Amino acid sequence: MRLPRFTYLPAASVAEAVQLLGDGPDTQLVAGGTDLYPKMKRRQLRPRVLVGLGGVDELRGIHANGTVSIGAGTRLHELAVAPEVVERFPALARAASLVASAQIRNAGTVGGNLCVDTRCNYYDIPYERRCAHGSCLKAEGDVCALAPGGDRCWAVSSTDLAPVAHVLNGSVRLVGPRGERTVPIAALYTMDDGIDYLRKERDEVLTRLELPPDEGLRVTYVKFRRRGAIDFPLLGVAAAVRTDENGVCVDARLVLGAVATAPLPVPDAARALVGSSLGDDAIAEAAEIAAGSAKPMDALDLPPSYRKRMVAAHVARAFRELRDAAP
Ligand SMILES: Cc1cc2nc3c(=O)[nH]c(=O)nc-3n(C[C@H](O)[C@H](O)[C@H](O)COP(=O)(O)OP(=O)(O)OC[C@H]3O[C@@H](n4cnc5c(N)ncnc54)[C@H](O)[C@@H]3O)c2cc1C
């Protein structure tokens, strides 16, 4: 598969990237290109102009004061081994270390991961096969191949970092022609719209991921995928608990990845743990509530009914890990 023709414009600064993006709807940002280039080869995306962020130094680097601020251009491998991230937000470092493969983590960036396109079996096939078998709503077609009766796209959010950033109450900085704004990760994604999945304007650049301090919160990320060496998540579980001096849970959070068009918070499951000592029964109840809330569809590998059962298994595993890691 070959890349289609396009013009590449390297930006030297965020301001220049914003200005170049203003050239029109056929213009798109590229960072590591690990998601965008394969999509262009499969003719899923056809930008005529790419604005390269690789040379924008202000997007690099991790700064830690109270808040940890991670440049959007930081490579996933750098994030996975950065001492200030490993020490303060080990679940985020773990999520980064579980993305794709070593080669992709060396090229893929934090900004690209948070903005990564949604995925679906019917969308992620080459153009020729889409032409032969019928296309889908997110590509050239006008009917969702997954749910032909509806008018929505159910392609799945597949970012490993976003669920963890969500439980950490993270936010992103967006810079555009109208200025700069902060958007909580919890408000960055659109539920039930796999096409317009980001609440970011087309001409905005995501510049930083910011994580506030959260003393005493224990956080983990558990990923379920077919091949451990290289694969998108079939399920991501970001879970967090805070316990008092008696081991009683006073705060719990749960966000699932890869089960909906956006990272899916499950507050009811988390609430079932508050006031408990994180015993097996309380964890099993939370896990069942989570599995009930998740409605995986036939958009990814493995049958949806199996992936739903995996939600209960992996949520339980995540909370047991947090309980057993108590100081
Ligand atoms: C085989 C394979 C396996 C993969 N496995 C995983 C996986 O397990 N988990 C996972 O999360 N991802 C996975 N990916 C997807 C991808 O590699 C990663 O998400 C990666 O982090 C994307 O970063 P990038 O810099 O390469 O993004 P790019 O491909 O450069 O861009 C991706 C999207 O983000 C936009 N973008 C990039 N930077 C910015 C910015 N600063 N501001 C605004 N928009 C921006 C681009 O316009 C584009 O729409 C996989 C990809 C492949 C090919």
String of DSSP letters for 14-83: HHHHHHHHTT-TTEEEESS-TTHHHHHHTTS---SEEEE-TT-GGG--EEESSSEEEETT-BHHHHHH-H
- Residue 17, ligand 1, Cβ within 6 A: no
Q: In b/e form, how buried is each residue of 90-116, taking b as 16+ CB within 10 angstroms?
A: bbbbbbbbbbbeeebbebbbbbbbbbb
Chain position carrying tokens 């280039």? 37
Structure confidence by residue, pLDDT tens digits, 211-235:
999 989 999 999 999 998 999 999 9
Chain position carrying tokens 């966000």? 255
Could you give the dihedral angle defined by the CA atoms of residues 232, 88, 115 and 50, in that order, rounded to the nearest 10 degrees? Answer: -110
CA-closest residue to ligand 1 atom 51: 35
- Residue 203, ligand 1, Cβ within 6 A: no
Q: Give the integer Cα–Cα distance in Å for 183 and 181.
A: 7
Q: For residue 149, how far is its CA from the centre of ligand 1 (angstroms)?
A: 31
Give the pLDDT mean for 136-165.
92
Report the share of the chain in percent with pLDDT over 70.
100
CA dist 235 → 110, 113, 177, 225, 257 (Å): 19, 16, 36, 7, 6
**Confidence at residue 242, expressed as pLDDT on a 0 to 100 scale:** 97
Pairing of strands 235-243, 68-71: unpaired
Q: Give the integer Cα–Cα distance in Å for 125 and 233.
A: 18
**Confidence at residue 93, expressed as pLDDT on a 0 to 100 scale:** 98
- Residue 258, ligand 1, Cβ within 6 A: no
Q: Give the integer Cα–Cα distance in Å for 144 and 153.
A: 6
- Of 41, 23, 39, 28, give the one whose Cα is nearest residue 200: 28
Give the pLDDT mean for 129-156.
88
The residues, ordered by sequence, that sit 6+ positions from 10 with a Cβ below 8 Å of its Cβ are 51, 52, 54, 55
Q: For residue 95, how far is its CA from the centre of ligand 1 (angstroms)?
A: 14
Q: Give the integer Cα–Cα distance in Å for 48 and 293.
A: 40
Q: Please, what is the average pLDDT of the chain?
A: 95
pLDDT of 23 higher than 80 = no
Report yes or no: 283 and 316 within 8 Å, Cβ to Cβ: yes
Indicate whether this model's pTM tops 0.85: yes
Q: Which of 9, 53, 113 should be mutated for ligand 1, with most atoms under 8 A from CB?
A: 113
Q: Give the integer Cα–Cα distance in Å for 108 and 8.
A: 18
- Of 185, 219, 213, give the one whose Cα is nearest residue 200: 185
The phi, psi pair for 200, rounded to 5°, reads -130, 135
